[in-house]
Amino acid sequence: MRFLITAGPTREPIDPVRYISNRSSGKMGYAIAEAALDFGHDVILISGPVNLSPPRNTKFISVSTSDEMFEAVHRHADESDVCVLCAAVADYKPVQVSTIKVKKRADGISMELVPTRDILQSLGRQRARKFLLVGFAAETDHLEANATKKLLEKNCDIIVANDARVGMESDENELLILFRDGETKKISRAPKKFLARELVKIFLKFATKKFDKKDVMITERT
């Protein structure tokens, strides 16, 4: 099978030296990429800036902004069987990016922000989607309710939800996996490398079943 995986944060520039970003380490996405490779699959890893070395044998695409990630994902999604969007894409970006460093002032400043394009949702809205679509949800409250909302709004097949306070920047995580047919599965706290292997097995099992109303069947290629 061919996996497309996004990982890490994005950086939304304010000026040549400043940006908006978040604390995502990329560890979960990189661990999923490694697990998929270990199981013998092809992997395209599209990563924001992180302090990790890309696993060998991946097609590695390094991006910085949400727009770059959007373009890279759309360029490769249709040649994939499983798209796992694990990246912590920034939700907002500045309307204007200054070409020179914004000077410090004695009074406050305000900045106009606009929402970034939602990559996961844009794939979920594709009419003739043939790949399995997996999203992630890092929440600090009402985990199941918020993740269920995302599953429906972004029209994905699986949402992997976790408590951001446990998983962010950490080597461990605990997961609640929600499937589009209403099924749920919990995996208790464990190293991300272990969780990644369990997730890849779950994705593959799901991808080999019929997963949408159009009777699209994804079968394992030999």
Q: Which positions touch ligand C5P (CB under 6 A)?
A: 6, 66, 85, 87, 89, 91, 116-120, 135-137, 150
Reference 3, options 160, 217, 201; nearest CA is 201
Residue 81 or 118: which CB sits closer to ligand C5P? Answer: 118
Burial classification of residue 58, based on how many CB atoms lie within 10 Å of its CB (0-12 exposed, 13-18 middle, 19 or more buried): buried
Residue 133 or 215: which CB sits closer to ligand C5P? Answer: 133
Supply 42's token pair. Answer: 């092809």
Least CB distance from residue 114 to ligand C5P, whole Å? 11
The answer for residues whose C-beta is within 8 angstroms of residue 49's C-beta and 6 or more apart is 8, 9, 11, 62, 64
Least CB distance from residue 84 to ligand C5P, whole Å? 8
Query: Cβ-closest residue to ligand C5P?
Result: 119
In this structure, the strands spanning 42-47 and 59-62 are parallel
Least CB distance from residue 64 to ligand C5P, whole Å? 14
Residue 136 or 203: which CB sits closer to ligand C5P? Answer: 136
Residue 147 or 218: which CB sits closer to ligand C5P? Answer: 147
Q: Which residues are catalytic?
A: 22
